[in-house]
Chain A
Amino acid sequence: MGILEVKNVGKRFGGLQALGNVNLSVAENSVHAIIGPNGAGKSTLLNCLVGKLIPDTGSVMFDGQSVLGRAPHEINQMGISRVFQTPEIFGDLSVLENMMIPCFAKRDGAFEMNAITSVVSQKDVIAKAEAMLEDMNMADKRHMHAASLSRGDKRRLEIGMCLSQEPRLLLLDEPTAGMARADTNNTIDLLKQIKQDRDITIAIIEHDMHVVFSLAERITVLAQGTPLVEDSPENIKGHPKVREAYLGETAH
């Protein structure tokens, strides 16, 4: 049994069957990649995992508990964090404040009426946030407005924010999309480091095959809302159906 078990999940948008009948099992402490052409339903699948969408059919179990019918913040508090396809950060807040918010969420839960103590007196949270910024190599940017960061830094910040919650499952939706080669390689190193340093399961959606084959231990290929094959990276590379359905289209 994997930490994440997706069974027979289907999702329809009007006339479009975005997800047909998805079965997916992600083993604990592995890196599992989900690849597939544009519009294959990869993001839709993630949305069904984190409570943004409710699937029409099927079940989603995380660590033996169903996530369906729970609000996004409840699912997150179960231990699932998500990095979005376009970075979602608190643009009006400083980088350090961005990092403090997930630390508060981890310490105090979904709501805490902490209205009279001052932020600066929350030494434990500040220390944790600063340590995470250090890990992300962003300590020098702590007082910057988050909205003014470069795209690569926004993504790093978002990944760091997710990590400060110490999630058991980290979901990444195209973390290197729109990045320059150097930034992409940095992200690969960062993710490898993360994997090495902690017990964490990572599910990653990615178009960039370099990233996929550098990180993934297991790959699921999604096409038109249904999983085509699931196998190890070596086998996926040579799989004729995959080459035809997916790799063929993007082969450089």
Chain B
Amino acid sequence: MLLDDLINPTQSDELLDEFAKREIRRAMLAAVAIPGYQVPFGSREMPVARGWGSGGLQITLAVVHDDDVVKVIDQGDDDGVNAVNLRRLVTTSTGADQTSVAAEASVIQSRHRIPEDGLDEESILVLQVPVPEPLRGVERDMRELARMHAEADYSRMWVSLYEDKVRNGVITQTTGYPCLVNERYVVATTPIPRWDIPRLHESPFLTLFGAGREKRIYAIPPRTKVEPLTFDDVPFEVEDADGASCAMCKSSDAFLVSLPNSDVWMCSDTDWCRRTREANA
């Protein structure tokens, strides 16, 4: 690319210019170098509302090339309205191909789930983050938050877990469970369910978290220790569908969600469910 192209980018379908991509890549490199640390970046306006995946979209646009294959899901569903919209933006802007099969995808953008299978060393998982600050619930002052992270002073977070357990008998936080990354920074795993938390630990793939409204990027590099904050004598537990199985594919070892006002359970990961049914047939 010529300097002139950078200064006067030609009109194209690209949603991010080269300057913006570079800035995001720099932020991502810093995020990978300091696992769990929230790196500020100059979040751009995207044709989606901030808080609706604009941070994830910017990361995806900065990592995807035209030879990539992308999968985009919303609540584990490739056909959710938001997923369809974001996927269209990514593929038209970058020329990348699309898939619903996680194993075929090189970049997977998601808000609520990690696909049940198919992620490996070659995969990059991009998570859309509405609230990147795990300590937001216990502190609002930005300088104090910065200090708490700098000193790894997470006692207020522990107190909130203590209070939760005292008040409710169990730790009630379901999605976005706070985790200690690489024994150093606490991150918000927002808003994936507990079910997916253990899968972030020592995972083969790179996870990039993007918060567009809050202008933050953070990362969990491959093979990194990820520990949910929990007391020694209060084991971390994932969601339990009470022995239920998927009404469609009969799986009981996937993350199931119940249909409203019923005890009918279904896989949250729709593509995994489809492939399981095909394999059973």
Do A and B associate with each other?
no
